[in-house]
Amino acid sequence: MFMRDDCAPMQTLTRLPILRRLGLLAVSAVMVACGGTDSPPPQEERLRDSPAAPPSAPAASSGTGILSGRMTLVGAPPAVQEIEVTKDQQVCGAHAIVKEDLLVGPRGGLENVVVSLAGVPAGGAANLPDVELHQKGCVFQPHVAVVAVGRPLPVFNDDGILHNIHTFSTINPRINKAQPKFKKRLEIQLDEPETIRVTCDAHPWMQSWIIVSDHPYVAVSDEEGYFRIDGVPAGIHRVRLWHETLGEQSQEVNVQAGQTTEIAVEFSQGS
Structure confidence by residue, pLDDT tens digits, 59-108: 334 699 999 999 999 988 889 999 999 999 999 999 999 999 999 999 99
- Nearest CA among 154, 118, 117, 145 for reference residue 211: 145
Does the pLDDT value for residue 112 go beyond 80?
A: yes
Q: What is the pLDDT of residue 68?
A: 98
Same domain, yes or no: 210 and 140: yes
pLDDT greater than 90 at residue 53: no
Query: Do 38 and 139 belong together in one domain?
Result: no
Query: DSSP readout, 211-258?
Result: EEESSS-EEE--TTSEEEEEEEESEEEEEEEEETTTEEEEEEEEEPTT
pLDDT of the residue at 195: 98
Q: Answer yes or no: do 26 and 151 share one domain.
A: no
Residue 27 has pLDDT above 60, yes or no: no
Q: Give the span between the Cα atoms of 227 and 101, in whole angstroms.
A: 18
In this prediction, residue 51 carries a pLDDT of 35
Q: 72 and 140 share a domain?
A: yes
User: Residues 6 or more apart from 225 whose CB is under 8 A from it?
Assistant: 70, 71, 72, 105, 108, 109, 110, 111, 113
Please give the Cα distance from 171 to 214 (Å, whole number). Answer: 14
Reply yes or no: is the peptide bond before residue 55 cis, omega within 30 of 0: no
Residue 223 structural domain = 64-267
Do residues 96 and 84 make contact, with C-beta atoms less than 8 angstroms apart? no
Asked if 220 and 112 count as a contact pair (C-beta separation under 8 A), the reply is yes
Residue 228 has pLDDT above 80, yes or no: yes
Q: Please give the backbone phi and psi of residue 22, each rounded to the nearest 5 degrees, phi first.
A: -75, -40
Write down the pTM of the prediction. Answer: 0.76
For position 173, what pLDDT does the model report? 97
> Other CB atoms closer than 10 Å to residue 109's CB: what's the count?
20
- Number of domains observed in the structure of the chain: 2
Q: What count of other Cβ atoms lies within 10 Å of the Cβ of residue 17? A: 8
State mean pLDDT over 155-168.
97
- Which whole number is the average pLDDT over 123-129? 96
Which residues are 148's β-sheet partners? 213
Class of residue 137 by CB neighbours under 10 A (exposed 0-12, middle 13-18, buried 19+): middle
Domain of 175, CATH number, reads: 2.60.40.420
Residues 121 and 4 reside in one and the same domain: no
**Domain ends where: 38, 55, 72?**
55
Whether residue 230 is predicted with pLDDT greater than 90 in this model: the reply is yes
pLDDT surpassing 90 at residue 131: yes
pLDDT mean across residues, the chain: 83
Does residue 214 sit in the same domain as residue 261? yes
Checking if the pLDDT of 171 tops 70, the result is yes
pLDDT score for 115: 98
Residues 162 and 239 in one domain: yes
pLDDT grade for 270, boundaries at 50, 70 and 90: confident
Integer angstrom CA distances of residue 78 from 83, 100, 101, 104, 108? 15, 11, 11, 8, 10
pLDDT of residue 3: 39
**pLDDT over 80 at 22, yes or no:** no
Q: Are residue 24 and residue 147 in the same domain, yes or no?
A: no
Reported as a single tens digit per residue, the pLDDT across 182-220 is 999 999 999 999 999 999 999 999 999 999 999 999 999
**Statement to judge: residues 44 and 150 lie in one domain:** no
Check: CB of residue 103 under 8 Å from CB of residue 111. Answer: yes
pLDDT given at position 271? 55
The answer to whether residues 137 and 89 belong to one domain is yes
In one-letter notation, the amino acid at residue 242 is W
Same domain, 104 and 234: yes
As a whole number, mean pLDDT of residues 165-179 equals 97
Q: Is residue 133 domain-shared with residue 239, that is, in the same domain?
A: yes
Asked if pLDDT for residue 47 goes beyond 90, the answer is no
